[in-house]
Amino acid sequence: MMGLAALQAFGFSVGDLLVAVVNYSYYILLGCILVSIVISFFPRYPSGGFLQAVYEAVRAIVNPILAPIRSVIPPLRLGGFALDLSPLIALIGLQILRRLLLIVIVNFIQPVTG
């Protein structure tokens, strides 16, 4: 509780901080999923040190989100190629989750904490 009082003494609102955390987390995950989509167009594993680090970091963030979706919804087979719908479903789910969290924060947490 001492930290909450200190934050409020400096003009910070707990609700505003929670809204910022939710929004930043959403945009980081959105960016990682979009980078994962772009990376998936290049079938070879990157050989450069920096690109390999980016590839590993993005996969480490995105795979725990996409793997459960992929296990339930298989890729859509269209002739000679398969269309993976899991990133699209994850993006829609993240948007819904973000909206719900913001509604809870604005309507229930901000009135209590100020």
Distance CA 64, CA 56 (A): 13
Amino acid at 47: S
pTM, rounded to two decimals: 0.83
pLDDT at 112: 86
Return the bridge partners of 82, or none: 77
pLDDT at 21: 94
Residue 8 has pLDDT above 80, yes or no: no
pLDDT at 3: 67
Domain ranges of the chain: 13-113
Element at 84 (helix H, strand E): none
pLDDT at 45: 67
Tokens 């290049």 belong to 42
Give tens-digit pLDDT for 45-58: 667 778 788 888 99
Give tens-digit pLDDT for 23-40: 999 999 999 999 999 888
> 62-68, long-range: CB within 8 Å, 24+ apart, which pairs?
62/32, 62/33, 62/36, 65/29, 65/33, 65/90, 66/33, 66/36, 66/90
Mean pLDDT confidence for 70-86: 89
